[in-house]
Amino acid sequence: MPRTLVTGGAGFLGSHLCEYFLNKGHEVICMDNLITGSKDNISGLKSENFHFVEHNVSEFINLEGELDFILHFASPASPIDYLELPIQTLKVGALGTHNALGLAKAKKATFLLASTSEVYGDPLVHPQPEEYWGNVNPIGPRGVYDEAKRFAEAITMAYHRTHAVNTKIVRIFNTYGPRMRVNDGRAIPNFLKQALTGKDLTIYGEGSQTRSFCFVSDLIEGIYRLLNSDQNEPINIGNPNEMSIKEMAEKILQATGSKSKIAHVPLPEDDPKIRQPDITRARKYLNWEPAVSLDEGLQSTLKYFKEQLRT
Ligand code: UDP
């Protein structure tokens, strides 16, 4: 039975990965310090092959026994979280990734880094292919996340080249779905919560900035394919269906049937103006593309938010 460690396993994406790999017949160790993750996300995983370890991976990771795979997903990921936890975000991207790579080397495990479209910053190339080096402000408020992930990519490639660790890098674009926290702070959870509780939907700026939203099950499938591929270079995984944030707010008003209004509030500093993944590589090397429509994905997420808010 393959043995797999998921760092950040109690988070939104981490918990979906734990569930997916358990269902694939792996023994799964979920490691999390619960600063943004929650045990509620893994409470349904009752198998004897599932283990939870509370640990901050920015500290040395001690783990007995063999390991086949390490999926390194520990990090604050919502802009409001990494603005509140700037040092922890830098540490987990740098020290946490170093520790997880050291463990992969010691155990001869395949290592997969959760990277991000934020490595492209406020992009000057559109859509963003993996060859694009990005446009990041290192000292701006988002720099703590963007630069931590850029460092994480650099040290991952260094362990691959220097120590021959089998490494993979997924650049994750905006993803949504059940188990995002009601107070996550990102656009879809904010709009859903606001629509369901009769509050104004807070659009930052004019709402003309664009994002391309991928449903979580599509993302997880792409990650699984990448892990089992021979690709060591970064691969974008995301849904190229790009829309403005204003359009997304309207979509959520429609999906919820809410009578909430739209309120414009100031745009955060360095907020990327456009974002769309170029998924040519994922199509070519992983034979992957998203399958879940925005309507289906939003319905499933809405159901989860209603349960959470008990409306
Ligand atoms: N956004 C918004 N209202 C909100 C939350 C986010 O208008 O209540 C905007 C935000 O400024 C950004 C986009 O939605 O342009 C996506 O933000 P999110 O925090 O989801 O993730 P990002 O892609 O910026 O990391």
pLDDT at 63: 97
149, pLDDT greater than 80: yes
Q: Are residues 16 and 151 in the same domain?
A: yes
Average pLDDT over residues 239-260: 98
Cα–Cα distance, 74 to 145 (Å, whole number)? 12
Which residues form the domain of 164? 3-176+214-240+280-286
pLDDT at 271: 96
CATH number of the domain to which 146 belongs: 3.40.50.720
Residue nearest to atom 25 of ligand 1 (CA): 79
Q: Are residues 222 and 299 in the same domain?
A: no
CATH number of the domain to which 250 belongs: 3.90.25.10
Average pLDDT over residues 58-73: 98
51, pLDDT greater than 80: yes
Q: Give the model confidence (pLDDT) of 89-114 as tens digits.
A: 999 999 999 999 999 999 999 999 99
Average pLDDT over residues 191-216: 98
Q: Sorting pLDDT into bands at 50, 70 and 90, what band is 115?
A: very high
For a mutational test of ligand 1's pocket, the pick from 120, 174, 188, 211, i.e. the residue with the most ligand atoms closer than 8 A to its C-beta, is 211
Whether the CB of 214 sits within 6 Å of ligand 1: no
Cα–Cα distance, 185 to 38 (Å, whole number)? 16
Whether the CB of 79 sits within 6 Å of ligand 1: yes
Residue nearest to atom 19 of ligand 1 (CA): 186
As a three-state string, the secondary structure of the chain is CCEEEEECCCCHHHHHHHHHHHHCCCEEEEEECCCCCCHHHHCCCCCCCEEEEECCCCCCCCCCCCCCEEEECCCCCCHHHHHHCHHHHHHHHHHHHHHHHHHHHHHCCEEEEEEEHHHHECCCCCCECCCCCCECCCCCCCHHHHHHHHHHHHHHHHHHHHHCCCEEEEEECCEECCCCCCCCCCHHHHHHHHHHCCCCEEEECCCCCEEECEEHHHHHHHHHHHHCCCCCCCEEECCCCEEEHHHHHHHHHHHHCCCCCEEEECCCCCCCCCCCECCHHHHHHHCCCCCCCHHHHHHHHHHHHHHHHCC
Among this protein's residues, is 145 annotated catalytic?
Answer: yes
Whether the CB of 271 sits within 6 Å of ligand 1: yes
Q: Is residue 40 included in any domain, yes or no?
A: yes
Distance between Cα 145 and ligand 1 center (Å): 15
Q: Are residues 248 and 172 in the same domain?
A: no
Whether the CB of 268 sits within 6 Å of ligand 1: yes
Q: Are residues 57 and 154 in the same domain?
A: yes
30, pLDDT greater than 70: yes
Ligand 1 atom nearest to 209, measured from its CA: 15
Average pLDDT over residues 137-152: 97
pLDDT at 206: 97
Q: Are residues 58 and 135 in the same domain?
A: yes
Whether the CB of 193 sits within 6 Å of ligand 1: no
311, pLDDT greater than 70: no
Q: Are residues 256 and 235 in the same domain?
A: no
Q: Are residues 100 and 219 in the same domain?
A: yes
Q: Are residues 151 and 164 in the same domain?
A: yes
**Whether the model pTM is above 0.85:** yes
Handedness of CA 255, 41, 36, 217 (dihedral sign): negative
Q: Are residues 191 and 235 in the same domain?
A: no
Q: Sorting pLDDT into bands at 50, 70 and 90, what band is 151?
A: very high
Q: Is residue 95 included in any domain, yes or no?
A: yes
Q: Is residue 38 included in any domain, yes or no?
A: yes
Q: Are residues 258 and 157 in the same domain?
A: no
Q: Give the model confidence (pLDDT) of 159-190 as tens digits.
A: 999 999 999 999 999 999 999 999 999 999 99
Distance between Cα 187 and ligand 1 center (Å): 4
Q: Is residue 182 included in any domain, yes or no?
A: no
Ligand 1 atom nearest to 174, measured from its CA: 23
Average pLDDT over residues 269-279: 97
pLDDT at 47: 96
Q: Are residues 30 and 130 in the same domain?
A: yes
Distance between Cα 178 and ligand 1 center (Å): 18
Q: Is residue 74 included in any domain, yes or no?
A: yes
Residue nearest to atom 23 of ligand 1 (CA): 174
Ligand 1 atom nearest to 118, measured from its CA: 25
Distance between Cα 201 and ligand 1 center (Å): 12
Q: Is residue 181 included in any domain, yes or no?
A: no
| 82, 120, 132, 145: the active-site residue | 145
Residue nearest to atom 1 of ligand 1 (CA): 187
* Total domain count, the chain: 2
pLDDT at 279: 98
Q: Are residues 167 and 62 in the same domain?
A: yes
